[in-house]
């Protein structure tokens, strides 16, 4: 191991860290509340689906480009019986 090699490895790790830090982690903040402001990376439940804020927004999930659908609401499961 040379000092130059170590420097290259450190630079590569720093670049990876910068990439990860540029994308905020997903933070679940509960059920969407009309009129409340949400920050980029926050996730809410609205109408049974999970939505993630793509930017800071006070809009309603599904009505503007501030939100992205992460998990679509499923069916109610009635009449499905046991599948174990």
At the fourth CATH level, the homologous superfamily of domain 2-71 is Carbohydrate-binding module superfamily 5/12 (2.10.10.20)
Has residue 66 got a pLDDT over 80? yes
CA–CA dist 14, 18 (Å, integer)? 6
Tell me if residue 5 falls in helix, strand or coil: helix
> Quick check: 27 and 41 in contact, CB under 8 A?
yes
What are the sequence ranges of the domains in the chain? 2-71
Percentage of the chain lying above the pLDDT 90 cut: 64
pTM over 0.95: no
Return phi, psi of residue 71, to 5°. Answer: -135, 120
Q: What is the mean pLDDT of residues 9-20?
A: 90
Statement: residue 5 has pLDDT above 80: yes
């Amino acid at each position: 191991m040379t000092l130059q090699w170590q420097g290259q490895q450190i630079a590569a790790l720093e670049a990876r860290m910068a990439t990860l830090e540029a994308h905020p982690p997903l933070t679940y903040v509960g059920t969407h509340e009309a009129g409340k402001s949400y920050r980029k990376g926050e996730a809410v439940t609205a109408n049974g689906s999970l939505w993630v804020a793509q930017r800071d927004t006070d809009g309603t999930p599904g009505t503007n480009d501030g939100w992205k659908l992460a998990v679509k609401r499923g069916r109610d499961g009635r009449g499905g019986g046991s599948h174990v």
